[in-house]
Chains A and B, each alone.
Chain A
Amino acid sequence: MIAQPLPPAIGPEFEARVEVDGSSRAVVVLFWGTSLLWLTVASLAGIISSIKLHSPDFLGGIEWLTFGRIRAVHWDTAIYGFGGLAASGTLLWLQARLCQVRLPYRNLLLVGGVVFNIGILLGVIGILMGQSTGVETLEFPLWAMPLLVVPYVFIVIANFTMYFKKVTKHTYVSQWYLMAVTVWFPILVLSAEACTNLGAVDGVAQAIANWWYGHNVVGLFATPTGIAAAYYLIPKVIGKPIHSYHLSLLGFWSNAIFYNWAGTHHLTGGPLPAWTITLGVVGSLMMFIPVITIGINHHMTMLGSFHLLKTSPTLRFAVMGSMVYTLSSFQGSLEALRSHQEVTHFTHYTIGHVHFGMYGFFAPLMFAMMYYGMPRLMDQEWSSARLIRIHFWCTLVGMLIYVFAMCYAGIRQGLMMNDPAVPFLNIVRFTIPYLGLRTLGGVILLSGTIAFLINFIRIITPHKYTWATPTLLDSERDWRKVVAKEKEQ
């Protein structure tokens, strides 16, 4: 958005785009704004859980804050609250823009957004009160689930309506992914709930259904949305087309086919028929194909434009996301190997990997989407370059500290656990400094989120004064000066 000359402020194309953005403003801002609130809640819950793991007496003896509950709240608010809302806002905004149609059913979607938020809030209260279902990633009590599922159905309908009314002849790569998310996510949630909490399958098959879901909710919901964002933003900001259409096609279908099967590697060594796990390992290894093709496509498109990383907030977050996508996917595929799982399976390593993907790849791409989209939706620029810089560096540094601490500690923990001569409590003691380092990483990540939240609140409040050009990372723009100016006037 920075390198290109500003789009001509007149002309039918520009006006059409302004109209499309205007139609989606309220809905998208609601989804993105509340997603950031949930990210803050998730981070706080994460930090509390993290502290409890090295200092178990922290808030100890309080039943509703016990580790096993606050830990579930952390992940569920992160994946549904932040992930669900940020991804759905992205989906609606991108689809409206790419189809060049006004967002349909706006009131329904607004109500849906509010209901979705209430659903998460009630789910969280349910877990804290001890009503967790006990199925990982599907902990929300069953009675809260309709509040999440029904609004999502509205989103699916809106998505298809836009797609069938689209003005553009072309279907963009991002749109394949968005389409996939809207088909996959409802099927995933409904069939996983049916197989686990509603008891359609029993015993060990339930565990497979659980991890089919747990892995796919990241792979078939968060990942495709992140990839769609990268496919949209990188070419858009640097003003070059995507490197190769054919690679996009290969990347999309291989991702769709192989990711689906990868989940059972979470149960390697467990009491399942060996062939189910072999399928999971094969699926995970085949993931090299989409990861490499998508990686080539994103990174080759960037080639020659790296200097723009100095100035464009959108691009910096998007490129961080797409680079970590490649790295964390490589890590994930290798992790599925039986010899690797023998060591790292039941350790903090897995937690490190999840955060690498979610906070190194998915979250930065959602942030990039917001950095790009919000000025267009609100017709105002970001009010502080410094807060953007703080947000970026906190995200990068906090994430790296977190991932390093967990992955390193996890490998050592696993090796010690596989040596029966090491007493268990020695392993516990060994991990404590790294768990402390993880808390530090978490606090840094939260600080970044708060910086972003301040900037976000600022951009959704109307001002008399704003800038005519985008806020660049290396500028010294500061909202306090704006406030001073407003007071003067």
Chain B
Amino acid sequence: MSRTFILALGIFLTIASSITGLVIIPNWQFKALQPIVKLDGTRYPEPYFGEQAKGREIYINQGCIYCHTQQVRMKGYGADIRRGWGTRRSVPRDYLMDRPHQLGTMRTGPDLASIGARQPSAEWHALHLYNPQITSPGSVMPRFEYFFREVYDGEVIPNDAVKIPRGRQASNATHIVPTDRGRAVIAYLKRLNQSYPLPEANQ
């Protein structure tokens, strides 16, 4: 009995110590972190509201994370900053509102931590999500055509329609209109922006 007890206790302690050391202590260290008040009085990071929050849910349930990271590594470690994926490294404060986290571990596609700063155009995102081959020939990103309604030749063109460039039209559709979901994803992508120079990112 006593030997078995020591075995089981030892086994338990190995795992209890690692979760304490790796998760509980860092979490406690982060507890003091608060959003920063910017010069214009707004806060960074802000909570996700409305369309952005919905867009984030879609980002999660479509599994964008399996191809995209949202973390910029420091200068001199990899080429994240030189590739223009960010202006500074990512720090814990950038993720205060992220539940669940979407840091990611795979870069089949580029990092998206600051895609909102790099690519602010909603039209570009619409065309790219609808069919990545339109904006990025040779891409392996899936088509997310179900976020859009197609407008065919001769139909009335709504105000928020985006024109598919000539030569890139795969069917009779000439325009696309984002659905609620399409608008939400684009709102989320446009909000992804870690440009604000947090002081701790320079340390």
A209, CB-defined interface residue at 8 Å: yes
Whole-angstrom distance between the alpha carbons of A133 and B132 in the complex? 26
Q: Is the CB of A346 within 8 A of B107?
A: yes
B66-74, B120-128, B154-162, B184-192 - the one binding chain A: B66-74
Question: Which secondary structure characterizes the binding site on chain A?
Answer: helix
Partner of A212, one of B22, B61, B140: B22
CB B198 to nearest CB in A, in angstroms, measures: 11
Q: Is the CB of A346 within 8 A of B69?
A: yes
Whole-angstrom distance between the alpha carbons of A269 and B71 in the complex? 9
CB-based nearest A residue for B106: A346
Q: Is the CB of B15 within 8 A of A350?
A: no
B32, CB-defined interface residue at 8 Å: no
Q: Is the CB of A68 within 8 A of B62?
A: yes
CB-based nearest B residue for A133: B100
Indicate whether A210 sits within 8 Å of B101 (C-beta atoms), given known contacts A171-B3, A420-B83: yes
Partner of B73, one of A207, A269, A419, A429: A269
Among B16, B94, B132, B140, find the residue whose CB has the most chain A CB atoms closer than 10 A: B140
CB-based nearest B residue for A260: B18
CB A211 to nearest CB in B, in angstroms, measures: 8
A451, CB-defined interface residue at 8 Å: no
B165, CB-defined interface residue at 8 Å: no
Partner of A63, one of B3, B33, B109, B146: B146
- Binary CB contact string for chain B from 34 to 60 against chain A (1 if under 8 A, 0 otherwise): 000000000000000000000000001
Q: Is the CB of A272 within 8 A of B74?
A: no
Partner of B138, one of A132, A264, A425: A425
Indicate whether A420 sits within 8 Å of B82 (C-beta atoms), given known contacts A52-B142, A54-B140, A56-B140: yes
Q: Is the CB of A184 within 8 A of B105?
A: no
Residues of B within 8 A of A271 (CB): 71, 89-92, 94-95, 103
Q: Is the CB of A204 within 8 A of B92?
A: yes
- Binary CB contact string for chain A from 154 to 177 against chain B (1 if under 8 A, 0 otherwise): 000000000110000001000010
Indicate whether A183 sits within 8 Å of B11 (C-beta atoms), given known contacts A61-B145, A191-B19, A279-B22: yes
Q: Is the CB of A163 within 8 A of B62?
A: no
A467, CB-defined interface residue at 8 Å: no
- Binary CB contact string for chain B from 93 to 113 against chain A (1 if under 8 A, 0 otherwise): 011111111111111111000
Whole-angstrom distance between the alpha carbons of A194 and B79 in the complex? 35
Residues of B within 8 A of A66 (CB): 62-63, 142, 144
Residues of B within 8 A of A433 (CB): none
Q: Is the CB of A269 within 8 A of B4?
A: no
Residues of B within 8 A of A207 (CB): 95, 101, 103
CB B111 to nearest CB in A, in angstroms, measures: 8
Q: Is the CB of B27 within 8 A of A56?
A: no
A9-17, A195-203, A239-247, A368-376 - the one binding chain B: A195-203
Q: Is the CB of A203 within 8 A of B96?
A: yes
Q: Is the CB of A71 within 8 A of B63?
A: yes
- Binary CB contact string for chain A from 196 to 224 against chain B (1 if under 8 A, 0 otherwise): 11010111111111101000100010000
CB-based nearest B residue for A255: B14
Indicate whether A183 sits within 8 Å of B92 (C-beta atoms), given known contacts A54-B140, A60-B143: no
Indicate whether A428 sits within 8 Å of B105 (C-beta atoms), given known contacts A202-B27, A261-B21, A419-B79: no
A37, CB-defined interface residue at 8 Å: no
B30, CB-defined interface residue at 8 Å: yes
Whole-angstrom distance between the alpha carbons of A350 and B82 in the complex? 23
Q: Is the CB of A204 within 8 A of B12?
A: no
CB-based nearest A residue for B12: A183
Count B-side interface residues using an 8 Å CB cutoff: 73
A450, CB-defined interface residue at 8 Å: no
Partner of B4, one of A57, A163, A220, A263: A163
A125, CB-defined interface residue at 8 Å: no
Q: Is the CB of A67 within 8 A of B142?
A: yes
Q: Is the CB of A56 within 8 A of B78?
A: no
Residues of B within 8 A of A276 (CB): 22, 26
Q: Is the CB of A68 within 8 A of B101?
A: no
Partner of B77, one of A57, A131, A269: A269
Residues of A within 8 A of B11 (CB): 179-180, 183-184, 256
Q: Is the CB of B138 within 8 A of A428?
A: yes
Q: Is the CB of A68 within 8 A of B63?
A: yes
CB A216 to nearest CB in B, in angstroms, measures: 8
Q: Is the CB of A260 within 8 A of B17?
A: yes
A72, CB-defined interface residue at 8 Å: yes
Whole-angstrom distance between the alpha carbons of A183 and B30 in the complex? 29
CB B74 to nearest CB in A, in angstroms, measures: 7
CB B100 to nearest CB in A, in angstroms, measures: 5
B164, CB-defined interface residue at 8 Å: no
CB B107 to nearest CB in A, in angstroms, measures: 4
B173, CB-defined interface residue at 8 Å: no
Q: Is the CB of A203 within 8 A of B22?
A: no
Q: Is the CB of B14 within 8 A of A257?
A: yes
A417, CB-defined interface residue at 8 Å: yes
B179, CB-defined interface residue at 8 Å: no
Indicate whether A67 sits within 8 Å of B67 (C-beta atoms), given known contacts A56-B143, A266-B105: yes
Q: Name 24 A/B residue pairs within 8 A (Cβ), A-sorted.
A: A52-B142, A61-B143, A68-B64, A69-B62, A131-B61, A133-B60, A134-B100, A135-B100, A183-B12, A202-B96, A203-B95, A203-B98, A205-B26, A208-B26, A216-B15, A269-B71, A269-B73, A269-B78, A279-B22, A280-B22, A350-B105, A424-B109, A425-B137, A428-B108
**Which residues of B come within 8 Å of A, CB atoms?**
3-4, 7-8, 10-12, 14-19, 21-24, 26-27, 29-30, 33, 60-67, 69, 71, 73-74, 77-79, 82-84, 89-92, 94-110, 132, 136-146
* 7 residue pairs, one from A and one from B, having the closest CB atoms: A68-B63, A134-B60, A260-B18, A205-B27, A346-B107, A269-B73, A130-B61
Q: With contacts A201-B27, A209-B23, A273-B26 known, what are 16 further pairs, Cβ within 8 A?
A: A53-B108, A63-B146, A68-B63, A68-B64, A136-B65, A136-B105, A171-B4, A197-B100, A202-B30, A203-B99, A208-B22, A269-B74, A271-B103, A424-B110, A425-B137, A428-B139
